[in-house]
A and B are shown apart, each in its own frame.
Chain A
């Protein structure tokens, strides 16, 4: 008995250590590079994270894993943990270190969530490892005001194929006042980093636009009952409701607000434009909701239809708005590799960062290029309206949401 226990206590960690060490021995191929993909595959954002990973992998599969003579290895890292129940900044930081410590990693895609981005950016800057995020929208990370915190080495390393919440929330506020003629709005957020940022940015712009903000309260995503706050909102008689946050709270909000606030304008950010929300709430609860994404509308482009079809067949689910931007991000990375190879420069981290920064690539969302901070130059925010289409599956974003147009930017 003692021997068995001793064996277990001694041999198990030894085996683990040996195995981990072994698995880290990379047998160097001739010309290969590694690209990291860091998304929260564990926790409440798992589905959206998978859609992003799949979008990026579409690009890799299209070129059969070879670009300009280089073999492309993909290192998928999960920055979600069960303790956090979603993305975990500590895990994201560890993943960033892992990527920086591995010399074969020349670029990265991700993270999905800005909370991870904040933890990763300083580490990536230190290692001069560029990452392109398809969905992180918190403006602080690329804001020159916070450059000392998020890019201590000075150069931009946090690139985005999506624009930021500096535009997403406020442009929707413009849409609400200009197109929907909303006069009084109540704002809710889900207490998360992304949701609070969205709601606050929306609120500031709404006030500037002359909309009366009746209140701003916070939902607890673990809570089930939102009838209290919805009843309170009903008593204030707004004609608009804005929700900043993800589907965890969103599903319950959508369902319960249908009964209590059936007739007002209800809008949200890209947390509302998500397959998880459609699956959880769907018709008839979602009827009439507006959602946005911080990118141009890609799926409506008929040239993109075959891409969507391939995605559906390969992965069994439809793409999210950020599957496209993830695919585009990977295209930017490939374009950088091709340009470096053409110029005869070595494909290493530093050159990749410079090449990515000077990218001008034709992608699904149009031409992608970055400004001096790493933000995408195209600041389009697209607005969608949920209109149930029974011919298509419930969580088919492209067909259940009707594209209305570009949200007006703040002049």
Chain B
């Protein structure tokens, strides 16, 4: 393969990764925008979402990559899996908010974040102890279709990822800008007290934010499983780190920022690995995180850094 083709391939890889990170980052940034809370548990909600998708597909009788569906069957199977993964993750997110976070609302400091670390550990270990430590083979009914673009290969999976991610993002954007609840969410993110005084039910808004964010994580999780053909209890960790950096880079609290940040981080990961070495990718990502937080905490699109005591 020519150098140009390789680079193009890495760009395509990076965009696919970036789409996943963007979906994951959006959920995270939505919660932060409203609650100013770093939700560590979000990434393990993502992990559980992928297991939900796994079980949904297995319930349909699929297993492994050998059985391929097409047309309406494929669409139906995927729609079912997405529904299960997104709904399940969303409900899990709402449950976490209700049980672990609502009692702590209003307490300044890092109490909330510490609690989410605890919840994250709990989710992680429930799956580890329940489903085991080995990687699970992900049922993937998609046919293997590939297209060649000047030397680089684009798979049907990649197209699927971009299509779904774009659809979800557009949907989210419409929701946030056109619906009442969406407007209430934006208002609460800017000033929750004023929103409350305007008659916004802030509790409901928060629940909606958690539900939406977690549902998007569930979608990202199913995409992850279909892309890599595996899942395990560990996937929350590294995808979480990347998505978190993406959210911070894009400007924490800003949904468009999370989208852009996700794509940028995906590209950095692939191009960095190509041009430097894969063993340093984690260090690069962490360094970006630290540098952005220290020198430009508002990121690309964010508001001024919140004054949380």
Contacts and interface: CB of A to CB of B under 8 A. Distances in A.
Direct contact of A and B (CB under 8 A): yes
Of B134, B270, B273, chain A has the most CB atoms within 10 Å of the CB of B134
Contact of A222 (B237, B269, B277): B237
Contacts of A259: 155
A229 interface: yes
A232 interface: yes
B137 interface: yes
Contact of A231 (B6, B66, B224): B6
Contacts of B155: 259
Given A225-B269, A228-B274, A44 B230 contact: no
A43 B129 CA distance: 10
A43 B125 CA distance: 11
Nearest to B235: A224
A102 B285 CA distance: 48
B308 interface: no
A191 B234 CA distance: 17
Interface in B25-67: 64-66
Contacts of B281: 220, 223, 228
B230 A255 contact: yes
A141 interface: no
A184 to B, nearest CB: 15
Contacts of B81: none
Interface in A249-264: 251-252, 255-256, 259
A284 B237 CA distance: 28
Interface string A227-251: 1110110110100000000011001
Interface string B227-242: 0111000110111000
B10 interface: yes
Interface stretch (A121-129, A171-179, A274-282): A274-282
A235 B134 contact: no
B134 A280 contact: yes
Majority-rule SS of B interface residues: helix
Contacts of A226: 278
A212 interface: no
Interface in B157-212: none
A329 interface: no
A224 B279 contact: no
Contacts of A279: 134, 137
Contact of B13 (A220, A231, A255): A231
A219 interface: yes
B230 A251 contact: yes
Contact of B270 (A217, A222, A227, A282): A227
A218 B281 CA distance: 10
B277 A217 contact: yes
A21 to B, nearest CB: 29
B228 A224 contact: yes
A282 B270 CA distance: 27
Of B5, B10, B64, B137, chain A has the most CB atoms within 10 Å of the CB of B137
Q: What are the 3 tightest A-B residue pairs by CB atom distance, in nearest-first order?
A: A228-B273, A235-B6, A218-B279
Interface of B: 1, 3, 5-6, 9-10, 13, 17, 64-66, 125, 133-137, 155, 224, 228-230, 234-235, 237-239, 269-270, 273-274, 277-279, 281-282
Interface of A: 43-44, 46-47, 82, 191, 217-220, 222-229, 231-232, 234-235, 237, 247-248, 251-252, 255-256, 259, 276, 279-285
